[in-house]
């Protein structure tokens, strides 16, 4: 999945202003689909998710600005119910609804020191009590099913994370002068999906049961 998130957020305190903007991230992993019928399935698996951010921090009274990048990693266990509509012998339209359990293993940070005097430190803080999270998601797409080649899926997913991704903490220090700005970072967005399911046949059974349209 190629992932895109909500827009720029701004945090400030006195002479420190910091903008954090999400850029394209990605998700990859493995997923299992259990077919209740030929048209109704349940999916679950394990994903590695990396979110990328572009950060602009400015000391407003002296126009000193730094550009920094930060990566944030979490793991996802999605659980979705899926309904398919058979459009032709091998082409299906899908819609899915469900959620994910999220695990955030650690905080992240990035550091810059222009002119060896002005220290800018950006932290994506994950408290020990906030390592687990949840989101709700909906997907739609199309898939090609072939008994020998497997299943190829192309679609899109929209997700709403029920808690902030992390607490963003921006710190600036010049000699003994210090400033800090902080706040929660929203993590909702959408992504483009590509999935492949290997063909699987139980002994003596077909990969797919015959549907209502042949």
- The span from the CA of 81 to the CA of 135, in Å, is 15
Q: In the prediction, which pLDDT does 175 show?
A: 86
DSSP 204: T
- As assigned by CATH, the class of the 2-197 domain is mainly beta
Q: Which of 127, 168, 187, 173 is nearest to 19 (CA)?
A: 168
pLDDT tens-place string over residues 58-102: 998 888 899 999 999 999 999 999 999 999 999 999 999 999 999
**Range with the poorest average pLDDT among 44-48, 140-144, 166-170, 208-212:** 208-212
Per the CB < 8 A criterion, the answer to whether 61 and 100 are in contact is no
């Amino acid at each position: 999945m190629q992932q895109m998130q909500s827009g720029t957020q701004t945090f400030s305190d006195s002479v420190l202003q910091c903008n954090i903007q999400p850029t394209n991230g990605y998700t990859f992993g493995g997923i299992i689909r259990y077919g209740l019928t030929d048209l109704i399935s349940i999916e679950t698996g394990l994903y590695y998710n990396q979110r990328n951010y572009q950060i602009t921090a400015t000391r407003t009274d002296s126009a000193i600005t730094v550009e920094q990048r930060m990566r944030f990693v979490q793991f996802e266990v999605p659980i979705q119910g899926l309904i398919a509509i058979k459009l032709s012998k091998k082409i299906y339209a899908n819609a899915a609804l469900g959620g994910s359990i999220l695990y955030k293993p650690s905080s992240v940070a990035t550091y810059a020191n222009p002119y060896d005097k002005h220290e800018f430190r950006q932290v994506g803080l994950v408290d020990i009590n906030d390592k687990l999270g949840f989101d709700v998601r909906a997907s739609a797409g199309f898939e090609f099913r072939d008994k020998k080649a497997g299943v190829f899926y192309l679609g899109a997913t929209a997700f709403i994370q029920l808690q902030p991704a992390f607490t963003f903490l921006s710190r600036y220090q010049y000699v003994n002068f210090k400033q800090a700005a902080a706040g929660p970072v929203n993590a909702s967005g959408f992504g483009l999906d590509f999935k492949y399911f290997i063909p699987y046949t139980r002994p003596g059974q077909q990969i797919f049961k015959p549907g209502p349209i042949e």
